[in-house]
Amino acid sequence: MIALIVVVVIIAIIAFVVIGAYNRLVALDQSADQAFADIDVQLKQRNDLIPNLVETVKGYASHEAGTLAAVTQARAAAAGATSVNDKVATDNMMTAALGKLFAVAEAYPDLKANTNFLELQRELSDIENKLAAARRFFNNAVSEFNAVRAQFPTVLFAGMFGFGSEKPFFEVDAADRAAMTAAPPSVKF
Protein backbone atom coordinates (compact mmCIF):
# COMPACT_ATOMS: atom_id res chain seq x y z
CA MET A 1 0.00 0.00 0.00
CA ILE A 2 2.81 2.43 0.86
CA ALA A 3 4.57 1.54 -2.39
CA LEU A 4 1.40 2.43 -4.32
CA ILE A 5 1.16 5.79 -2.55
CA VAL A 6 4.83 6.52 -3.30
CA VAL A 7 4.31 5.65 -6.99
CA VAL A 8 1.20 7.85 -7.17
CA VAL A 9 3.04 10.75 -5.50
CA ILE A 10 6.01 10.35 -7.90
CA ILE A 11 3.65 10.25 -10.90
CA ALA A 12 1.83 13.33 -9.59
CA ILE A 13 5.12 15.21 -9.13
CA ILE A 14 6.25 14.29 -12.65
CA ALA A 15 2.86 15.36 -14.04
CA PHE A 16 3.11 18.73 -12.27
CA VAL A 17 6.65 19.24 -13.59
CA VAL A 18 5.61 18.35 -17.15
CA ILE A 19 2.47 20.51 -17.01
CA GLY A 20 4.47 23.38 -15.49
CA ALA A 21 7.17 23.08 -18.17
CA TYR A 22 4.58 23.03 -20.95
CA ASN A 23 2.67 26.02 -19.57
CA ARG A 24 5.89 28.01 -19.14
CA LEU A 25 6.94 27.27 -22.73
CA VAL A 26 3.52 28.28 -24.06
CA ALA A 27 3.58 31.54 -22.09
CA LEU A 28 7.10 32.41 -23.24
CA ASP A 29 6.26 31.48 -26.84
CA GLN A 30 3.24 33.78 -26.73
CA SER A 31 5.34 36.56 -25.22
CA ALA A 32 7.88 36.27 -28.04
CA ASP A 33 5.11 36.21 -30.66
CA GLN A 34 3.53 39.31 -29.13
CA ALA A 35 6.89 41.08 -29.09
CA PHE A 36 7.38 40.21 -32.76
CA ALA A 37 3.91 41.59 -33.52
CA ASP A 38 4.96 44.85 -31.83
CA ILE A 39 7.95 45.03 -34.17
CA ASP A 40 5.59 44.39 -37.09
CA VAL A 41 3.42 47.34 -36.06
CA GLN A 42 6.41 49.68 -35.90
CA LEU A 43 7.75 48.43 -39.24
CA LYS A 44 4.33 49.00 -40.83
CA GLN A 45 4.18 52.55 -39.46
CA ARG A 46 7.65 53.21 -40.84
CA ASN A 47 6.71 51.71 -44.21
CA ASP A 48 3.55 53.85 -44.33
CA LEU A 49 5.65 56.98 -43.71
CA ILE A 50 8.20 56.22 -46.45
CA PRO A 51 6.09 57.24 -49.50
CA ASN A 52 5.44 60.69 -47.99
CA LEU A 53 9.12 61.11 -47.25
CA VAL A 54 10.13 60.02 -50.76
CA GLU A 55 7.60 62.38 -52.37
CA THR A 56 8.85 65.29 -50.29
CA VAL A 57 12.46 64.60 -51.25
CA LYS A 58 11.47 64.07 -54.91
CA GLY A 59 10.27 67.64 -55.15
CA TYR A 60 13.71 68.95 -54.21
CA ALA A 61 16.04 66.28 -55.53
CA SER A 62 14.45 64.85 -58.63
CA HIS A 63 17.82 63.85 -60.11
CA GLU A 64 18.52 61.55 -57.13
CA ALA A 65 16.43 58.81 -58.73
CA GLY A 66 18.75 55.96 -57.67
CA THR A 67 18.45 56.77 -54.00
CA LEU A 68 14.69 57.24 -54.22
CA ALA A 69 14.35 53.94 -56.11
CA ALA A 70 16.43 52.14 -53.45
CA VAL A 71 14.11 53.42 -50.71
CA THR A 72 11.03 52.39 -52.69
CA GLN A 73 12.52 48.95 -53.41
CA ALA A 74 13.42 48.46 -49.75
CA ARG A 75 9.87 49.39 -48.74
CA ALA A 76 8.41 46.88 -51.22
CA ALA A 77 10.72 44.14 -49.92
CA ALA A 78 9.77 44.97 -46.32
CA ALA A 79 6.08 44.70 -47.15
CA GLY A 80 6.59 41.11 -48.39
CA ALA A 81 8.71 39.90 -45.47
CA THR A 82 7.06 37.38 -43.16
CA SER A 83 9.66 35.51 -41.12
CA VAL A 84 11.96 36.99 -38.48
CA ASN A 85 14.98 36.49 -40.76
CA ASP A 86 13.22 38.14 -43.72
CA LYS A 87 12.15 41.07 -41.57
CA VAL A 88 15.68 41.49 -40.22
CA ALA A 89 17.10 41.52 -43.76
CA THR A 90 14.54 43.99 -45.09
CA ASP A 91 14.86 46.15 -41.97
CA ASN A 92 18.61 46.38 -42.53
CA MET A 93 18.02 47.20 -46.21
CA MET A 94 15.50 49.92 -45.28
CA THR A 95 17.83 51.43 -42.70
CA ALA A 96 20.63 51.66 -45.26
CA ALA A 97 18.32 53.17 -47.90
CA LEU A 98 16.97 55.75 -45.45
CA GLY A 99 20.51 56.67 -44.45
CA LYS A 100 21.28 57.42 -48.10
CA LEU A 101 18.05 59.39 -48.43
CA PHE A 102 18.95 61.60 -45.47
CA ALA A 103 22.45 62.03 -46.85
CA VAL A 104 20.87 63.33 -50.08
CA ALA A 105 18.69 65.67 -48.03
CA GLU A 106 21.80 67.19 -46.47
CA ALA A 107 22.76 68.55 -49.90
CA TYR A 108 19.53 70.54 -50.19
CA PRO A 109 19.21 73.33 -47.58
CA ASP A 110 15.68 74.18 -48.74
CA LEU A 111 14.62 70.58 -48.19
CA LYS A 112 16.21 70.45 -44.73
CA ALA A 113 14.21 73.58 -43.82
CA ASN A 114 10.92 72.30 -45.27
CA THR A 115 8.42 71.87 -42.43
CA ASN A 116 6.82 68.82 -44.05
CA PHE A 117 10.22 67.13 -44.38
CA LEU A 118 11.16 68.06 -40.82
CA GLU A 119 7.88 66.65 -39.48
CA LEU A 120 8.31 63.43 -41.45
CA GLN A 121 11.89 63.16 -40.21
CA ARG A 122 10.72 63.68 -36.61
CA GLU A 123 8.00 61.03 -37.02
CA LEU A 124 10.52 58.61 -38.51
CA SER A 125 12.91 59.25 -35.64
CA ASP A 126 10.11 58.56 -33.16
CA ILE A 127 9.20 55.32 -34.95
CA GLU A 128 12.85 54.25 -35.02
CA ASN A 129 13.07 54.77 -31.25
CA LYS A 130 9.91 52.70 -30.72
CA LEU A 131 11.27 50.07 -33.10
CA ALA A 132 14.52 49.85 -31.14
CA ALA A 133 12.54 49.36 -27.92
CA ALA A 134 10.34 46.71 -29.57
CA ARG A 135 13.44 44.87 -30.83
CA ARG A 136 14.94 44.87 -27.33
CA PHE A 137 11.70 43.53 -25.86
CA PHE A 138 11.49 40.84 -28.56
CA ASN A 139 15.10 39.77 -28.08
CA ASN A 140 14.56 39.61 -24.32
CA ALA A 141 11.45 37.44 -24.81
CA VAL A 142 13.33 35.19 -27.25
CA SER A 143 16.27 34.93 -24.87
CA GLU A 144 14.02 33.90 -22.00
CA PHE A 145 12.17 31.37 -24.19
CA ASN A 146 15.41 29.86 -25.49
CA ALA A 147 16.90 29.67 -21.98
CA VAL A 148 13.87 27.95 -20.46
CA ARG A 149 13.60 25.61 -23.45
CA ALA A 150 17.20 24.49 -22.91
CA GLN A 151 16.95 24.07 -19.11
CA PHE A 152 16.40 20.81 -17.31
CA PRO A 153 13.77 19.34 -17.07
CA THR A 154 12.06 21.38 -19.83
CA VAL A 155 14.62 20.24 -22.38
CA LEU A 156 13.31 16.70 -21.91
CA PHE A 157 9.80 17.67 -22.98
CA ALA A 158 10.28 20.66 -25.31
CA GLY A 159 10.56 18.58 -28.47
CA MET A 160 7.48 16.55 -27.61
CA PHE A 161 5.49 19.75 -27.12
CA GLY A 162 6.56 21.24 -30.46
CA PHE A 163 9.16 23.60 -29.01
CA GLY A 164 12.17 21.73 -30.37
CA SER A 165 14.08 24.62 -31.92
CA GLU A 166 15.34 27.95 -30.68
CA LYS A 167 13.67 31.17 -31.81
CA PRO A 168 15.92 33.50 -33.82
CA PHE A 169 16.88 36.92 -32.46
CA PHE A 170 16.17 40.16 -34.30
CA GLU A 171 19.75 41.22 -34.82
CA VAL A 172 21.97 43.24 -37.07
CA ASP A 173 23.42 41.30 -39.99
CA ALA A 174 27.18 40.85 -40.45
CA ALA A 175 27.57 43.65 -43.02
CA ASP A 176 25.86 46.20 -40.79
CA ARG A 177 27.85 44.99 -37.77
CA ALA A 178 31.08 45.54 -39.76
CA ALA A 179 29.92 49.04 -40.72
CA MET A 180 29.26 49.84 -37.05
CA THR A 181 32.81 48.89 -36.08
CA ALA A 182 34.34 51.06 -38.82
CA ALA A 183 35.74 54.46 -37.95
CA PRO A 184 32.99 56.94 -37.07
CA PRO A 185 32.38 59.76 -39.53
CA SER A 186 34.27 62.94 -38.80
CA VAL A 187 32.37 66.16 -38.24
CA LYS A 188 34.06 69.33 -39.48
CA PHE A 189 32.95 72.94 -39.23
**CATH code, domain carrying 44:** 1.20.1440.20
| Alpha-carbon gap, residue 89 to 147, rounded angstroms | 25
Residue 188 is assigned to a structural domain of this protein: no
More confident residue, 185 or 104: 104
Residue 57 is assigned to a structural domain of this protein: yes
Number of domains the chain is built from: 1
Cβ neighbours around 142 below 10 Å, total:
23
Q: Is the confidence at residue 185, as pLDDT, over 80?
A: no
Buried b (16+ CB within 10 A) or exposed e, 10-48: eeeeeeeebeebbebbeebbebbeebbebbeebbeebbe
Residue 128 is assigned to a structural domain of this protein: yes
Residue 174: is it exposed, middle or buried by C-beta count within 10 angstroms (0-12/13-18/19+)?
exposed
Residue 43 is assigned to a structural domain of this protein: yes
Buried b (16+ CB within 10 A) or exposed e, 151-161: eeebeebbeee
- Domain coverage including residue 7: 2-168
Residue 174 is assigned to a structural domain of this protein: no
pTM for this prediction:
0.73
Residue 87 is assigned to a structural domain of this protein: yes
Mean pLDDT, the chain, whole residue set = 84
More confident residue, 57 or 142: 142
Residue 189 is assigned to a structural domain of this protein: no
Quote the DSSP letter at residue 161.
Answer: T
Query: So what's the pLDDT on residue 186?
Result: 42
Q: How confident is the model over 134-144, as a mean pLDDT? A: 94
Quote the DSSP letter at residue 165.
Answer: S
Residue 185 is assigned to a structural domain of this protein: no
Q: How confident is the model over 38-47, as a mean pLDDT? A: 90
Residue 18 Cα distances to 29, 32, 48, 111, 144, angstroms:
16, 21, 45, 61, 18
